[in-house]
Structure 1
Amino acid sequence: MSSDRTDLALMAETLAKSPDYRVLRRLVPRTEFSFCDGQAMKTGILLDVETTGLNTTQDEVIELAMVKFTYLPDDRIAAITDLFSAFNEPSIPIPEEITELTGITDEMVSGHLIDPDAVASFISDAVLVVAHNANFDRKFAERYWPQFERKPWACSATEVEWRKHGFDGSRLGYLLAGVGLFHQAHRAIDDCRALIEILSADVQKLNRSAFAVLLERARRKTIRIWAEQSPFERKRSFAAVLISA
């Protein structure tokens, strides 16, 4: 068996050297990414939720997965330090299309409840939460577990210009292929493991990790303004003032 694997690895290396082939290797989860050498490190969380639908105010979480990791002063990911994965039984049957997408069935979540104290403890030392569609995941997370409201968030899907850096798009499968890997699972914890591999990889021509590029953008100050129940013309005039400021 080991001989067969060695032969396959040699074939893959040979193909990879040719411009006519692109070789993808199955993602093998790992925990170590960069040598820390005693440097002070910060803690981050990668988060993914599976839900009964796309309505962030009415649909329900059926799975929460988190990967806790450390990162260095130069924003390189150092290591995975802990994992969290739990099911939650919703008040309604899981829609068929959601089961087809996620593989999660009513039987799998039956009787399960995500412990809010366990979630709070897991994220207590994190200085950053990263999700690949933070606009979606964050709303569910903050609705279920208010501790997330006090955490800074970053979106790995929108806060990195992936196409500019040579990727085919921002979908997780495209990004994973861009770093020479593939995975066939669609469970939340598997997607978190895939995302940390992507963020730990160097971006072409920058000699910096994708995570460092993400943090550079995420650290910029932003302002969120609501103009509810205002006439459209007033909204447009206000937007023009902001743009020219």
Structure 2
Amino acid sequence: MTKHIAFIDVETTGMRADTSEVIELGVMLGEFDQNRIVRVAEEYCEFQEPFYSIPSIITRITGINDQMVRGKTLDMDKILSILDRADGIVAHNATFDRGFVSRLLPDTLDMDWYCSVRQIKWKNYGFENGKLQQLLRAHRIDVQQAHRALDDAKNLAVLLNNSHPQLGMEETYISYLLNKNPLKKPMQSRF
């Protein structure tokens, strides 16, 4: 049975969802069949202009500057239409991404989220840590551009389509992850 899995990533003005803003959001909807992503069903990526100037450290990391985001807004209806078709949402540090995405789209709080950092114990498989760029290098995945939302989402899907000898050749990281329970839904504030 074919499922749809959304891989999502955000670039932001800072680390805290309550004080920082999304400046880029990328989502790739993939078809999952027989333990792997077999086709890209849809992609979306856009900038969003923040209220304040992008900090210089964020520009150094992402390459995104104020001029690039000027006048840009995210198409929330488009993003939600993609996520509504997904049987699960995967992010590489889902607590971070979910915090930002749920501020933009509160409906996503009730969706099934999976975290490829916390729910896959990368060190158990012999990797130094769970940082996406290091895992991509270790799996010899060619990265055109790092720390950009859609590129990171797509690269995550490629990474998770791999298998590891400890998993067995029949099981990929993505099939292993989707066999886990989704992350618990965060408590919503009453204020």
Output the TM-score relative to the length of structure 1. Answer: 0.71
Q: CA offset at residue 218 of structure 1?
A: 3.3
Structure 1 residue runs of 5 or longer lacking an equivalent are 1-39, 227-245
Q: CA offset at residue 133 of structure 1?
A: 0.8
CA deviations on 1:14-63 (whole Å, 9 max, x unpaired) are: xxxxxxxxxxxxxxxxxxxxxxxxxx301110000001101111111100
SS for the counterpart of 2:71 is: coil
Which amino acid letter does the alignment assign opposite residue 179 of structure 1? H
Matched, 1:211 2:174: yes
Count of aligned pairs between the two proteins: 185
Matched, 1:145 2:105: yes
SS for the counterpart of 1:195 is: helix
Matched, 1:58 2:19: yes
1:88 — aligned with what? 48
CA contact (8 A) 1:173 1:182 kept: no
Matched, 1:166 2:126: yes
CA deviations on 1:174-207 (whole Å, 9 max, x unpaired) are: 2112222231512111111211111001122322
CA contact (8 A) 2:136 2:142 kept: yes
Name which of 98, 117, 132 aligns with 2:92: 132
CA deviations on 1:89-148 (whole Å, 9 max, x unpaired) are: 000000000000100010000001112111122222111000001010001000111221
Matched, 1:44 2:5: yes
SS for the counterpart of 1:218 is: coil
Return the structure number with greater helix share: 1
CA contact (8 A) 1:51 1:60 kept: yes
Name the CA distance, whole Å, in 1 between partners of 2:99 and 2:40: 25
CA contact (8 A) 1:44 1:69 kept: yes
Output the TM-score relative to the length of structure 2. Answer: 0.90
Name the CA distance, whole Å, in 1 between partners of 2:20 and 2:42: 28
Which amino acid letter does the alignment assign opposite residue 181 of structure 2? A
Change in 2 beyond 3 A, CA 1:156/1:225: same
Name which of 46, 63, 67 aligns with 1:103: 63
Which amino acid letter does the alignment assign opposite residue 172 of structure 2? S
- Could you say which structure has the larger radius of gyration? 1
CA contact (8 A) 2:110 2:185 kept: no
Q: CA offset at residue 150 of structure 1?
A: 2.2
Name the CA distance, whole Å, in 2 between partners of 1:194 and 1:222: 25
Q: Percent identity?
A: 33
Name which of 75, 91, 95 aligns with 1:115: 75
Structure 2 residue runs of 5 or longer lacking an equivalent are none
Which amino acid letter does the alignment assign opposite residue 211 of structure 1? I
CA contact (8 A) 2:28 2:44 kept: yes
Name the CA distance, whole Å, in 2 between partners of 1:167 and 1:59: 31
Name which of 200, 213, 216 aligns with 2:161: 200
Name the CA distance, whole Å, in 1 between partners of 2:89 and 2:185: 19
